[in-house]
Chains A and B, each alone.
Chain A
């Protein structure tokens, strides 16, 4: 058995070392059926929401609100409005669940299955391995947000006409009315910001995945932290401390629908999310680096 020299044009030679490992991780991640559970559930949930709006009088309060503000309701009972309404519950409940599921799997599932021991019999550093896995997870989070946006528009278009965007988020004090083009830009910007939520929750579950725990435990721990943070954030007495709560900074995407986007607040939260994510990764790495990998 000779060691053939790779030809310069061959696929492996075109990629850098990190690129090859990233491609491996993506093969592993997207080769699993459970990776697609999130996509399928988005599809079902968004269809269901669109159908409820189409077949019931669920849009009546919204129409009254628009008319009381002097707008023509029909112009805003549109693809963009319904897709944005779909976005709120999915981003609040389904997205955290599925990114935490995948984040919790990334290391712990490989440790449980024994493939981690096979990998660590190779001359790859643990730092590099974790970095590649985190990036693959982040790409998954991005793809989930992209799917959420595309599915939302596609399914809303099945039942509603194109038109302006109307958004009402009382908790954030957002009441936005936009024409079609501006509405689409806001919708896309919101999904781009939603990536920060997806990646942060994934990063949190990923950190727990680096501990010596089962994949389900890593997912549950990640979601528990999110729920606890969410509960604390909503206790009125803690209002002045909410900058300390992770979930407070995960609502960035909602500000993309404000008449005037509070960019200072967005920038502040983004920088804090970078800090949170760096901390999650550093803790996960420290724990993983110190671990003994055994059967």
Chain B
């Protein structure tokens, strides 16, 4: 592994999308997308089917022409100078397609030559790294789904990429395959210092892998930030006190709390910070053992974004005070 290990993100942007829009006929697929992926990021692109994730990836790879805006990859406009922009980029798609009638080795040779001269030693090295050495000379049509996924990874790694773009990489994999893929991606990030951008439906995968995410809804970006920001985005606080029900009732009567749930959580009224709640409870002679902002799961956050106006949890919670 020759590239310097650099698991942390730096300020150097490898992907810069500015005002990127795409319409297919009258239908807008992506609207004025601004997005920046820095070197060292593991960046997750989330959204429902048809949200524009694959279109955004197609635009990043110069496969789709933008209606407006620019896509700069590794510092170069991919639609004007794709040779330089994609020279150190690898890509993996949900259903990796190969020439099934040829061997894995021949497929690697074919795909790699579109980037640069690739010596046999390099092919062997990559095949070995992904664990395909034993079957690399077999025809791809004899490969299992997992082996095809590893071959897809091998072809993506051949140009010695700095940036790996993965469109729904876990699609069709079984739980063991998903685990293996996650470990591989983490290894690529840690050992080779690769910057990763992946689109996925699997929120748990994104939560375990990504450092930053963007959420797309109907072609528009509705969130971009770190997972830490996602977790802190909750407006619920967990309160530890002797009689939670009584404390919650009095806080609601005082107009300081909007909702209560699960016998431990409060949603303060707008503009009310936890310190105000603590001061009031202490004034009322109610002990406060613990108060902390509730950590939000990515799933809850995602659903909030997908269904705006329904609060951070989709299901209504009974009000303790009523």
Chain B residues with CB under 8 Å of A125's CB are 82-83
Complex Cα gap A13–B116 (Å):
10
- Given A119-B111, A122-B86: A3 touches B160 (CB 8 Å cut-off): yes
Question: Is A123 within 8 A of B87, CB to CB?
Answer: yes
Binds B, one of A26-34, A160-168, A222-230, A256-264: A26-34
Complex Cα gap A117–B84 (Å):
18
Flag A258-295 by CB within 8 Å of B: 1 or 0 each: 00000000000000000000000000000000101111
Question: Is B97 within 8 A of A118, CB to CB?
Answer: yes
Flag A1-45 by CB within 8 Å of B: 1 or 0 each: 111111100101100000011011001100111000000000000
Chain B residues with CB under 8 Å of A123's CB are 82-87, 89, 114-115
Chain A residues with CB under 8 Å of B6's CB are none
Question: Is A118 within 8 A of B101, CB to CB?
Answer: no
Chain A residues with CB under 8 Å of B109's CB are 24, 27
**79-104 of chain B: CB within 8 A of chain A:** 82-87, 89-91, 93-99, 101-102
Flag B192-203 by CB within 8 Å of A: 1 or 0 each: 100000000000
Question: Is B122 within 8 A of A3, CB to CB?
Answer: yes
Instruction: Select which of A5, A20, A121 is within 8 A of B89 by beta carbon.
Output: A121
Instruction: Select which of A12, A124, A292 is within 8 A of B117 by beta carbon.
Output: A12
Tell me the dominant secondary structure on chain A's binding face: loop
Instruction: Select which of B85, B114, B119, B126 is within 8 A of A10 by beta carbon.
Output: B119
Instruction: Select which of A2, A113, A292 is within 8 A of B58 by beta carbon.
Output: A292
Indicate the size class of the contact surface on chain A.
35 or more
Return A104 CB to nearest CB of chain B, in Å.
18
Question: Is A113 within 8 A of B86, CB to CB?
Answer: no
A115 close to B (CB within 8 Å) = yes
A185 close to B (CB within 8 Å) = no
Question: Is A113 within 8 A of B97, CB to CB?
Answer: yes
Question: Is B63 within 8 A of A294, CB to CB?
Answer: yes
* Closest chain B residue, CB of each to CB of A12: B117
A89 close to B (CB within 8 Å) = no
Question: Is A20 within 8 A of B117, CB to CB?
Answer: yes
Instruction: Select which of A114, A115, A122, A292 is within 8 A of B115 by beta carbon.
Output: A122
Question: Is B91 within 8 A of A27, CB to CB?
Answer: no
A52 close to B (CB within 8 Å) = no
A120 close to B (CB within 8 Å) = yes
Question: Is A295 within 8 A of B101, CB to CB?
Answer: no
- Given A32-B101, A123-B115: A4 touches B155 (CB 8 Å cut-off): no
Chain B residues with CB under 8 Å of A115's CB are 97-99
Complex Cα gap A106–B101 (Å):
16
Question: Is B119 within 8 A of A6, CB to CB?
Answer: yes
Chain A residues with CB under 8 Å of B122's CB are 1, 3-4
Chain B residues with CB under 8 Å of A295's CB are 54, 93-95
Return B123 CB to nearest CB of chain A, in Å.
10
* Closest chain B residue, CB of each to CB of A291: B65
Flag B175-202 by CB within 8 Å of A: 1 or 0 each: 0000000000000000010000000000
- Most chain B Cβ neighbours within 10 Å, of A1, A12, A113, A121: A121
Chain B residues with CB under 8 Å of A117's CB are 63, 93, 97
* Closest chain B residue, CB of each to CB of A5: B119
* Closest chain A residue, CB of each to CB of B125: A1
Question: Is B63 within 8 A of A27, CB to CB?
Answer: no
Chain A residues with CB under 8 Å of B157's CB are 1
Question: Is B91 within 8 A of A121, CB to CB?
Answer: yes
Instruction: Select which of A10, A33, A114, A294 is within 8 A of B97 by beta carbon.
Output: A114
Question: Is B63 within 8 A of A118, CB to CB?
Answer: no
Chain A residues with CB under 8 Å of B1's CB are 1
Indicate the size class of the contact surface on chain B.
35 or more
B268 close to A (CB within 8 Å) = no
Complex Cα gap A119–B159 (Å):
13
Complex Cα gap A190–B113 (Å):
37
Return A1 CB to nearest CB of chain B, in Å.
6
Chain A residues with CB under 8 Å of B82's CB are 123, 125
Chain B residues with CB under 8 Å of A21's CB are 113-114
Question: Is A120 within 8 A of B101, CB to CB?
Answer: no
Chain A residues with CB under 8 Å of B120's CB are 10
Complex Cα gap A7–B121 (Å):
11
* Closest chain A residue, CB of each to CB of B58: A294
Return A22 CB to nearest CB of chain B, in Å.
10
Instruction: Select which of B63, B87, B99, B110 is within 8 A of A121 by beta carbon.
Output: B63
Instruction: Select which of B64, B114, B119 is within 8 A of A292 by beta carbon.
Output: B64
- Given A3-B122, A12-B118: A31 touches B102 (CB 8 Å cut-off): yes
Chain B residues with CB under 8 Å of A28's CB are 99, 102, 110
B62 close to A (CB within 8 Å) = yes
Question: Is B113 within 8 A of A20, CB to CB?
Answer: yes
Return A108 CB to nearest CB of chain B, in Å.
14
Question: Is B119 within 8 A of A122, CB to CB?
Answer: no
**17-73 of chain B: CB within 8 A of chain A:** 24, 54-55, 58, 61-65
**121-176 of chain B: CB within 8 A of chain A:** 121-122, 125-126, 129, 155, 157, 159-160, 165
A-B contacts besides A119-B114, A123-B89, 19 pairs, CB < 8 Å = A2-B2, A24-B113, A24-B114, A27-B106, A27-B109, A27-B110, A28-B110, A31-B102, A114-B96, A117-B97, A121-B61, A121-B89, A121-B93, A122-B86, A122-B114, A123-B85, A123-B86, A292-B63, A294-B64
The 19 sampled A-B contact pairs (Cβ below 8 Å) are A3-B160, A4-B125, A6-B119, A10-B119, A13-B117, A28-B110, A31-B101, A33-B101, A117-B97, A118-B111, A120-B61, A120-B62, A121-B90, A121-B93, A122-B159, A123-B85, A125-B83, A292-B58, A295-B93
Top 7 nearest A-B pairs (CB, nearest first) are A114-B97, A122-B114, A121-B91, A123-B86, A293-B63, A292-B64, A124-B114
